[in-house]
């Protein structure tokens, strides 16, 4: 059942984001495709993190995180942040970063960034669902194609054509 479920979920396109944190527990970051908006009043997103991931406890202890929505040209960066063999220091060599208002690293050339606090956590199976309140948002109007994960590989979504 698990293999069939994973195969079925590979047919569901997902955004590709980097989730990062910095604070008293340290600096960490990882690639996530399990993210979605919850509500716009107040702006809230949910992110799913595997509890066995080495960075899981750091996110919870810091209580805040940054989300950088990736686009075309960020494939190598996404792979680096998904590579558990790389240390946080090695991951952050990729890309150019700025601390967001709450202190989490945000990618300079991301399609958009969200600076959040973790408001609630729900444990389900192997993962925690983090409910995150968004405190600050930047949108890169010059950004191009969006990066998605579908059928176990990256794909690109074209930007809105204005005018077409």
Which residues are paired to 65 by β-bridges? 116
> What is the extent of the structural domain holding 100?
2-156
State the pairing for strand pair 146-150/153-157.
Answer: antiparallel
Is residue 164 included in any domain, yes or no?
no
CATH number at residue 9: 2.30.110.10
Please give the sequence-ordered ranges of beta strands (E in DSSP) within 41-162, or none if there are none: 43-50, 64-69, 97-99, 105-107, 112-124, 127-139, 146-150, 153-157
Is residue 163 included in any domain, yes or no?
no
pLDDT at position 16 is 97
Q: Burial level of 53, CB count in 10 A (0-12/13-18/19+)? A: middle
pLDDT along the chain (164 residues), means of 10: 88 92 97 96 97 94 98 95 94 96 97 98 97 97 86 89 62
pLDDT at position 83 is 94
Is residue 132 included in any domain, yes or no?
yes
d(CA 29, CA 141): 24
d(CA 107, CA 98): 7
State both tokens at 105. 């690293």
pLDDT at position 9 is 83
Is residue 120 included in any domain, yes or no?
yes
State both tokens at 13. 């396109």
pLDDT at position 114 is 98
pLDDT at position 61 is 98
pLDDT at position 95 is 95
Which residues, 6+ apart, have CB-to-CB distance to 122 below 8 Å? 128, 129, 131
pLDDT at position 159 is 85
Question: pTM, whole model, 2 decimals?
Answer: 0.93
pLDDT at position 164 is 55
pLDDT at position 163 is 60
Number of domains in the chain: 1
Is residue 55 included in any domain, yes or no?
yes
Is residue 92 included in any domain, yes or no?
yes
Is residue 161 included in any domain, yes or no?
no
Is residue 26 included in any domain, yes or no?
yes
pLDDT at position 143 is 67
pLDDT at position 54 is 86
- Between the alpha carbon of residue 62 and those of residues 48, 71, 106, the distances in Å are 16, 27, 15
d(CA 154, CA 70): 11
């Amino acid at each position: 059942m698990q293999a069939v479920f994973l195969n079925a979920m590979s047919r569901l396109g997902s955004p590709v984001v980097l989730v990062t944190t910095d604070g008293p527990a340290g600096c960490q970051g990882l690639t996530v495709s399990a993210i979605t908006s919850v509500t716009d009043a107040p702006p809230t997103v949910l992110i799913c993190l595997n509890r066995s991931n080495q960075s899981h406890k750091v996110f919870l202890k810091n209580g805040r995180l940054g989300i950088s929505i990736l686009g075309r040209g960020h494939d190598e960066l996404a792979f680096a942040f998904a590579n558990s063999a790389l240390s946080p220091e090695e991951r952050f060599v990729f890309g150019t970063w700025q601390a967001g208002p709450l202190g989490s690293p945000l990618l300079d050339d991301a399609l958009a960034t969200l600076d959040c606090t973790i408001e609630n956590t729900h444990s389900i199976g192997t993962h925690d669902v983090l409910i995150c309140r968004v405190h600050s948002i930047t949108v890169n109007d010059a950004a191009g194609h969006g990066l998605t994960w579908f059928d176990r590989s990256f794909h690109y979504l074209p930007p809105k054509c204005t005018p077409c």
